[in-house]
Amino acid sequence: MPKLKTHKGLKKVLNVRKSGTVTTGHPGSRHNTGKKSAKFNRRKRMVAGLSKADSNRFKNIVR
């Protein structure tokens, strides 16, 4: 079987840590943040983890 290619679009969105957990950012933090509350913007800066099912789906595609 040939090697699996890395999905470049998904690689730009997801991050695989050394422990194997897959992390991503939050949606809604790119623009129009001036009208949103500071609490909302602070929480969007934090890293979000994927669910176990999603991380298993994407782990082989991103590496």
The DSSP call for residue 28 is: T
Question: Residues with Cβ < 8 Å from 17, sequence gap 6 or more?
Answer: 23
In a domain, 41, yes or no: yes
Task: Provide the residue range defining the domain that includes 58.
Answer: 8-26+33-62
Q: What pLDDT does residue 47 have?
A: 92
In a domain, 42, yes or no: yes
In a domain, 19, yes or no: yes
Q: What pLDDT does residue 2 have?
A: 87
In a domain, 55, yes or no: yes
* pLDDT tens, residue by residue, 7-60: 899 889 888 888 888 899 999 999 999 999 999 999 999 999 888 898 888 877
Q: What pLDDT does residue 22 have?
A: 87
In a domain, 43, yes or no: yes
Alpha helices in the chain (DSSP H): 8-11, 38-45, 52-62
- Total domains in the fold of the chain: 1
0.85 exceeded by the pTM? no
Token pair, residue 51, equals 């669910």
